């Protein structure tokens, strides 16, 4: 393998590492916030979610927080990264559609695209065992 190719691969791996840890930090922060300070998030639970799940909004916040901590933890630990990123990206798709065209919605859209990118990058041409080395 040429030096240029090696360097390119190394940059690629560092890029994925930064993306993975950065996104993990974001999801862990929001997840822990919902678990530890759930009442402040109850107002953000959409009515359709309460009607769909038939559980109290506070419980939805806790479940959402648990999901984000679990998936964010998997990203941080580089375990099932592709599937965790995909689940989080799909989760963000729902949030983006629900929030709409506001600064928060646009920010979440950016996070969603970055999370999708992570899911695709960890698939790539490499095997899962190769990815655990990143």
Which residues would be at the binding site for other proteins (CB under 8 A)? 17, 21, 24-25, 28-29, 32-33, 36-37, 40, 43-44, 46-47, 72-73, 76-78, 100, 102-104, 107, 132-134
- C-alpha distances (whole Å) from 94 to each of 18, 38, 85, 88 are 25, 20, 15, 10
82 and 119 in contact (C-beta within 8 Å)? Answer: yes
**Smaller CB separation from other proteins, 21 or 58:** 21
Q: How far is the CB of 11 from other proteins (least distance, A)?
A: 14
**Smaller CB separation from other proteins, 75 or 86:** 75
Q: How far is the CB of 70 from other proteins (least distance, A)?
A: 10
Q: How far is the CB of 30 from other proteins (least distance, A)?
A: 9
Q: How far is the CB of 5 from other proteins (least distance, A)?
A: 19
Q: How far is the CB of 20 from other proteins (least distance, A)?
A: 9
* SS3 readout for the chain: CCHHHHHHHHHHHHHHHHHHHHHHHHHHHHHHHHHHCHHHHHHHCCHHHHHHHCCCHHHHHHHHHHHHHHHHHHHHHCCCHHHHHHHHHHHHHHHHHHHCCCHHHHHHHHHHHHHHHHHHHHHCCCCHHHHCCC
**Smaller CB separation from other proteins, 2 or 102:** 102
């Amino acid at each position: 393998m040429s030096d240029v190719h090696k360097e390119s691969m190394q940059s690629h791996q560092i890029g994925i590492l930064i993306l993975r840890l950065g996104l993990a930090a974001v999801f862990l922060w929001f997840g822990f916030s919902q678990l530890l300070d759930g009442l402040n998030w109850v107002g953000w639970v959409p009515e359709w979610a309460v009607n769909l799940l038939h559980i109290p909004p506070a419980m939805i916040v806790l479940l959402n927080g648990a999901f984000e901590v679990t998936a964010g933890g998997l990203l941080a630990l580089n375990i099932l990264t592709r599937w965790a990123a995909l689940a989080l990206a799909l989760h963000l798709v729902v949030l983006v559609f629900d929030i709409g065209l506001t600064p928060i919605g646009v920010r979440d859209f950016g996070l969603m695209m970055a999370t999708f990118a992570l899911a695709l990058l960890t698939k790539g041409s490499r095997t899962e065992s190769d990815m655990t080395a990143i």
